Structure 1
Amino acid sequence: MGAKPKADTPEDLKNWMMEYLTSQGALETRTRHSLVAPPKPVNDDDDEIQNQRQATLPMNYGDMKSIRRSLRGEAGLVAMRLELNATVKVIIQKLDSIYGSVDKKEELLAEFYGSRQRPTESVTAWSCRLEGIIGKAVDRGLVQRKDVDNMLHAMIWTGLKPHLKDISGHKYDTIGDFDGLRVALRQIESDHSSRNEGLQEIKGLINQIHTRLDCNDKRWEQAPWNHQEQHTQPPQFQPPNQSRQWQQPNQSSPWQQQPQFGQQQQNRGGYRGRGGNSNRGRGQNNYRGGRDNPDRDYQCWRCGQTGHLKIGCKVRMDHSQQHLNSNKPMQGERP
């Protein structure tokens, strides 16, 4: 063969021989295909991935046979009904007519421009969903590939969640390509999620405090002393006794309340009686107490009776219960 093998062990010699024959074209490397039946297509994305893989395979008889053997179930029956020399393009067209999307062109564009990020959807999943919708539009000839980046750049920010959209407007204005804007939005989403975690912890603590306060209120309502207070009747109000007995001056309590200044009748010209404690030496601007009024709960500090004040007391202190002016002179007599 004109080549000197370089090997020290039998295994090295075997590997060198395989490499040499492969380089000379003596051995043909065949592409291996999975013999496991693919699952039944569930959505359009799985069909597109399978069709893309089959379209990129080299077109020779061995690969065509491998493709036919890889199809199982209903897809295998569809390929079996075709001709033996059917190309990959023919098989893909047949599968697309059975499992492909049947949405109208107008509905496809309406879905793209009307899409919005779901509450539980991340920015990554939202951008991939937009790319899937616009990819279908490109395959059907609705959108040219040169316009895809601008359309995705506009829609990824337009359809964002409101709280993310409000804090990412400057990124939309400064970043012009779709991939760069997606990276910036992912960073903002990550920062915002960390802040939300802190807020959730604070809300949890507040809820715990409210729960404890509610428990304390229930315990207070169920307390035995609280029930006793509800069943006991409140004390009834007793009006002041207007028929109090007359008390001696020496029996009056010195701590009884003195009448307030606003409750006195402010009449000029004090009265000078014959009794021992007359308002002498106070001038003409003395304030005279009210007249005998049994309805008012006043008590005189001079005589101990109720109904008048000390400043206007007219009771004689000799216990005769007569008025001070009762000993007036007869007509014709001098005082």
Structure 2
Amino acid sequence: MKIREDEKRSHRMMLEQRLVLENEFERKRQAEKELLRNIEQLELQERALLQQRSRNELLDREIAVRRMKDDDMNRRLEVLKQKERVLKDKVQQKNDNYMIREVTTNDQIKLSTRIPTLPSFDGKNFEEWKLETVCMMRTGLYSDYAVSQAIRNSLKGDTRRILLTIKPSESAEELIAKMTENFGEVKSVERIVQEFYSAKQHETESCSAWGIRLEALFQQAVNKGEIEERKRDNKLKERFWRGLNSEQLKAATRVSYESSDSFEKLKRKTRLEEEENNQVNATGKTLVNQQSTDDRLKVLDEMLERLKTIEAQMSNMKKHNLEGKREYESYEATKSSDQERRQDRHTNGGLYYRGGYRRGRYPNRGQTRYHNQENESTAENKHSHLNEKSLSRQGTMEAKQN
């Protein structure tokens, strides 16, 4: 009985253990399934990431290829722009150098056989010289040979050396092309545009000269194709007013600048204001010059008065000096005569003494040295007195001059 209960108990315990093991196994199997699902999801995410990365790499390669194509396109555009500029320059040069003249049966203009005259060209102001030449060609009044000879005759100095590189049979158009290659404008387009927008009126430059210089810069920019001709009036008006050197002129013409006035009208008003300012300045300078002239004349009059005073003092000094000289000469003559008389008395008095030692009676004994010293001191006193008088007069003159 006891054995049977033990077996039942053990059987029950075994059943419980089996149930626990089955539950544990089921739990582990569920955990395994969960892990497998997670692994599958992670693998799917990994594959998605790989696909996304591959797509990104493809996009990066496409972007790099497009950038390369864009760079190539930019380079081609730059090359095309340069070609366009070169072609524009060539077309402009041909338009400037080519003489357009329609010859019809009813054309009554006769070509002149006289050699025309062009301004001398020494290497400076080429554009002005070229304009004169092109205008002469377009008139059609002269033959091509006459214009070519006029071009050769106008060359001066070192510029004539270019004739050594030109054939005698070349036309006027070819001569101008050769001159343009050697003396034409070599500034870049950017430099010309920069000079136009940064130009300012010089201190000594008039408004008229400033306007002409600005128009020349604008025309160069138009010829290079950087500024449109239709913007001519607005651009010139703006740059002309902003480039004025005088703030006073700017303030006087601000209303015209901000209004709808044209460039020419603004320039005329500016010139008028400049002329009025110049007249006011000239009047002020005249008054200042007149005042300075009056001051100078006053100083000259004072100097003349001083010179007259000095001349009078000099003449008085000369008179006093002559009088002193005469007194001194008379004094010297008196002194010499006194000395001769004393010497005669000494000589005659020595005859009465034995041995010629001049002992005994001597009327002036013991007085000769005293007389000589007294006479010398008197002469020195007179001479010093004259010197003091002359010095006192000179001091008085210097004091008056000062």
Give the alignment's TM-score, normalised by structure 2: 0.42
Q: Identify the structure with the greater helix proportion.
A: 2
Which has the larger Rg?
2
